[in-house]
Amino acid sequence: MRRLLLLAAMLPSLVCAQQMPSATIDVQPETSIGTTNVTITWTCTNAATARAIGGWSGIKALTGTEVVTGVATDRVYSIECRTALGRMTVSWTAVTKNQDGSPATITGYRVYEATTYLGVPAGNRTDVSATTLSQLLWLPPGTHYAGVTAIASGVESLMSNIGQKNVQWVTATATDSITITPRPAKTTVTVSQLANR
């Protein structure tokens, strides 16, 4: 039985690409003369959490409206939207030969992933077609390891070299602001009566 040859070039290329959240925020009014109340409306999509930063603070719902009272100076309001999972893409080059140098007819690949180097051979397995040369994995933040094997006629190759990547969530931030024009201070008017001449 021939063993499949996993070329050195099949070292997984682990590229962290995150699920990109999006953020929108709207502040009304955008300008005011003197102290005013500000209405902030925001939306986070493809996100797990929302956090207010800048002229306001705190954890927020993913969508909402809030009124900030008594705003007397220029303010910048931002909403930060963050994902719960990151993405890791494992990619490899096609296997074309068996270990003895004869042509290999690949019927598929297996991608293994784990949170430890030694755990990869028994880790989470994803089977993909012979024409697939990359696989997207959705994973919680942290260090992950991955390796790939090739399948031909039901025979699985040895594990490729194992790659490592630190998976992180990502954020999207939207910002809007209000400009406050101070009211002029009151002037003091003095009225005097001129003496008759």
How many domains is the chain partitioned into structurally? 1
pLDDT tens-digit series, residues 140-187? 999 999 999 999 988 899 999 999 999 988 788 899 888 888 777 777
pTM for the whole structure: 0.62
Residue span of the structural domain in which 112 resides: 1-197
Cα–Cα distance measured from residue 176 to residue 40, given in angstroms and rounded to the nearest whole number: 9
Name the band, by pLDDT with cuts 50, 70 and 90, for residue 135: very high
The pLDDT value recorded for residue 19 is 60
User: Do the Cβ atoms of 174 and 78 come closer than 8 Å?
Assistant: yes
Tokens of 162: 């194992």
Residue-level pLDDT at 54: 92
pLDDT at residue 12 above 70?
A: no
Domain of 49, CATH number, reads: 2.60.40.10
Across all residues in the chain, what is the average pLDDT?
86
**What would the two tokens of residue 125 be?**
């397995």
